[in-house]
Amino acid sequence: MSRRQARQAQQEQYLQANAFINEGLIRRDASELGNESSTRTRREWMEMFLPDLGAPQEAFDAVHVAGTSGKGSVCAMIAEILHAAGVRVGMHLSPYVQVATEKLWVDGELATVAQYANLVEWMRPRAEAHRGPEVPLHGMASVGLFLEHFRRQGVEIGVVEVGVGGRHDLTNVLRTKVAVVTNVGLDHLKTLGPTLQDIATHKAGIIKEGCRAVVFSRGADDPAQRAAQRQATQVGVPLRVVTPTCFDITSYDAGSPCLTYRSPRFQLKGLRLALRGPFQAANAALAIAACEEIDPEGERIDEAAIRTGLERARLPARLELMPEGASRCAVLIDGAHNPDKLAGALESLGALPARRLHLLYGALSAKNVGTALEQAVARAATVTLTEPRVYAKAARPAQELADELRAKTRAKIVIEKDAQVALKHALAGVEDGDLLLVTGSLYLAGEVRRHWYSDAAILEQRTPWPAQEG
């Protein structure tokens, strides 16, 4: 069998397995926290499911990360620091950008297609046995897959991003060693709100008896800190508060911060991050503090592990600068789907010299980035609107967006509903030295990212950044 045939067979195996998890289990009328008429929360459904899986969550300790923004970045930093320290570590992020194996990361590698297909076959009869009109079965199966993968791979510590909220999330069944809350902002208002404090209470719900807890706070009135303190007091655990006084940004290199970090244990200078954006400095400080709580005696995590981990930690579609050569301008892909994320992306653009800004935007109907999108459009020389394609989730109509935004820019707004066609159109209007920002949704980021990295190459090489071919 040739390499091309082997890759094709591998992709077919992946698609067949993924079809069951996606089309086979998703219910279109399920809300983000489960049906409103359900008699149980999503976490309660998951707790009922776990005995049939053999309780894989008991096989490893967990670092559980909640928050409106920065969860994925903090997870990646913690996981890479632990990996550099010699800890057998798994990481689960949601949603994936291109392929489902991104959710099955262990010691720097994604699961093989064979491992993924085997997990799905193991899951199939167990999931089928729990079908019901109220059961959030797709999410339950997805969580069950990563729990079992971590167990099979002998993971010591799993670093897990919350799906939605925290308190009632499907992932809130872990044997949590450290709970981390990044921040609280206006996202998922329908299911977590209506107030900021309601959202904060959901996020803080991952703090459980017997764990350690860490929260990032910008002041005593920070809703994340208030909610985390109430929850920590209620369950009787200490809360560590990380503030902006713990770090300083000393320089930028192509948009990636270099910082100083201070704590009773560490005085670290010249910490270089792979992830871009000034906001990543706060995420890095929170990640280091979390690692101090994971290893309070300092037996495994040292300065070298922290430096190496932060230099390695990166994620697809988080202010990701795409490889040169495939376009005439710099292309930055960022899955900013809420006001905080898009504002952070716009703040970061100043570190990347460019003559003109071009915008390619598409979002799901449930998302609203408010005035941040208006600011992006006002700065753009050209605006291309598209519609991400996601199974069982509706896109925000591009025409509706165009009607709202035309008064905010002098640039011509072009609508191309197909993301790949939209990318080609956006690239056709650039000049050397320009910058194209692709944003609005991680799902859009995944579609556009295939212009540089194919799904087949990611699956074969087990990394979101496969070696370029040709």
195 in Cβ contact with 87 (< 8 Å): no
Full-model pTM = 0.94
- How far is Cα 216 from Cα 194, in angstroms, rounded to an integer? 22
Structure tokens at 152: 């099979």
How many Cβ atoms from other residues are within 10 Å of residue 162's Cβ?
26
- 319 contacts 348 by C-beta, under 8 angstroms: yes
Taking only the tens place, the pLDDT of each residue in 410-458 is 888 999 999 999 999 999 989 988 999 999 999 999 999 999 999 999 9
DSSP 387-418: ---BTTBPBPPHHHHHHHHGGG-SSPEEE-SS
Mean pLDDT of 285-301: 97
Phi, psi of 450 (to 5 degrees): -65, -15
Which alpha helices (DSSP H) does 205-263 contain, by range? 223-235
- pLDDT beyond 90 at 150: yes
pLDDT at 36 (0 to 100): 46
Pairing of strands 89-92, 105-106: antiparallel
Domain ranges of the chain: 3-312, 324-451
CATH architecture of 324-451: Alpha-Beta Complex (3.90)
205-221 pLDDT, tens digit each: 999 999 999 999 998 88
Interval 91-102 mean pLDDT: 96
How far is the first Cα of the chain from the last one, in angstroms, to the nearest whole number? 20
Q: Which of 59-63, 95-99, 328-332 has the lowest mean pLDDT?
A: 328-332
Kindly give the interhelix angle for 3-21 and 137-152, rounded to the nearest 10 degrees.
130
Distance CA 318, CA 239 (A): 29
The answer to whether the CB of 388 falls within 8 A of the CB of 363 is yes
Which position has the token pair 């009328």? 29
Residue 348: pLDDT band by 50, 70, 90 thresholds? confident
Which segments of 33-184 does DSSP mark as H helices, in order? 42-53, 71-84, 113-128, 137-152
Say whether the peptide bond before residue 194 is cis (omega within 30 degrees of 0): yes
Question: Nearest Cα to 31, choosing from 167, 138, 186?
Answer: 138
Torsion-angle region of residue 279: left (phi > 0), alpha (psi -120 to 50) or beta?
alpha
Average pLDDT over residues 376-399: 90
pLDDT value of position 334:
94
Residue 352 CA to residue 101 CA, distance in Å, equals 31
At 199 the three-state DSSP class reads helix
Mean pLDDT score, 36-46: 82
Which helix H or strand E contains 383, and what residues bound it? strand 382-385
Q: Using CB atoms within 10 Å of the CB of residue 269, give its burial: 0 to 12 exposed, 13 to 18 middle, 19+ buried.
A: exposed
Task: Identify the CATH number of the domain defined by range 3-312.
Answer: 3.40.1190.10
Edge-to-edge strands, sheet with 239-242: 109-110, 105-106, 89-92, 157-161, 61-66, 176-181, 212-216, 239-242
